[in-house]
Amino acid sequence: MVMADRPEVQTASAPVTALAMVGLAESMLNGLARVPFRRFWEGPGGLLDNIGQSVTRQTIRSFMGYSMALPIEEFRSMEKILDDICRVVMPPFISLTDGVELTDDTVGGIEGIWCRAKASTDEYVDDSEDKETITATVLYLHGGGYIGTSPIMYSAFAASLVNITGYEVFIADYRMAPEFPFPAGVHDAADAYRGLLERGIDADHIVIAGDSGGGGLATSLVSYLHDHGLAKPAAVMLFSPEVDLDLNHPSITTNAQLDILPWNVPVSPYLQGVQPNDERVSAIYAKPDPTWFPPTFVCWGADEMFRDGIRKFSEGLSAAGVTVYAMEEKGMFHVFPILMPWAESSRRVFRALRELSHRHVESDPAAVATH
């Protein structure tokens, strides 16, 4: 469920929500109007890629800047409307473009959405021999800075992962701040992981993945699994993970004008008293070990605000002996593979994922898409 549907979460009245949506539209139009007055043709790719990057950067920055200024009840109501729109638009779009079907489910008590390759026939066949073989299962923790968005909003990217890797993907609907600060999200992610194990999916066939805040949550989950004696997953996939909530590296300020993130990245709603250098929330302060931290793929943009923290995290994993596949893409901003899947930088990431998808995850020919 979207956060607004949880009984503990307050929402705004219909008139106030309508005004919030009008304000969002105005803010985004105002942002787009600025594009011609910037060097929108400059960038790391071809002309069309560079223009697309400029438009995307300004659109998302306007969206995030406006959203972060709203009272939380208005933010949740606006989020609910966007979620409802995505629930109408995304399933047929993904089915047509990616051949992926979406299914609501509850795993380990945590609601979420399955993304799976469609069967070869449109008719339901109850014979397991006619169903798609599961190569591996991804537990995906969506981004949103620990405070926003929903699984359906990430279904298009999850569908891309299905096609790239051959895996199935479960996008967990974990609780978010400020209503549910740390460690609520970690506990939900752990419950979903346990739920997959209880369904008979071996840990060697599970990949934990996430982007932005969800990427940071993924690293917190790996540490949680270790601390609680649960089997480690086969691998981890991270896209611009938020792994340093201290926000004390130079790139936080030097890349502020280049990134899509607001210059005042909010972390206090999630922490609520927990120190930002606590290794449970900032993985760069953890002490990883290859015996419990699995092989990790991580990518980020050279122009994003989290760049230095992700570099330090990646270097720390490597120094500890953890197998790391790191990609820093020149001229790109936060979560670029999600926002600009057509860009050449994103295509390089996807090619790397396709190549690595079976290197650390054994195929499970006995499993079929019936979990």
Cα-based angle 244, 49, 142 (whole degrees, multiple of 5):
35
CA distances from 289 to 26, 193, 234, 281 (A): 49, 20, 14, 17
Q: Are 217 and 144 in contact (CB under 8 A)?
A: no
Active site residue 304: yes
Catalytic residue among 79, 111, 304, 329: 304
What are the φ and ψ backbone dihedral angles of 280, each rounded to 5 degrees? -70, -25
Stated as kind and residue range, the H or E segment containing 354 is helix 344-356
How would you class 273 by CB atoms within 10 Å of its CB: exposed for 0-12, middle for 13-18, buried for 19 or more? exposed
- Output the CA–CA distances (angstroms, integers) from residue 278 to 286, 287, 340, in the order listed: 8, 12, 33
Q: Say which of 155, 334, 346, 357 is annotated catalytic.
A: 334
Whether the link from the prior residue into 71 is cis, omega within 30° of 0, is no
Query: Is 334 a known active-site residue?
Result: yes
Catalytic residue at 123?
A: no
Instruction: Report the alpha-carbon distance of residue 99 to residue 121 in Å, rounded.
Output: 11
Which of 27, 155, 160, 212 is the catalytic position? 212
Q: Which residues are catalytic?
A: 212, 304, 334
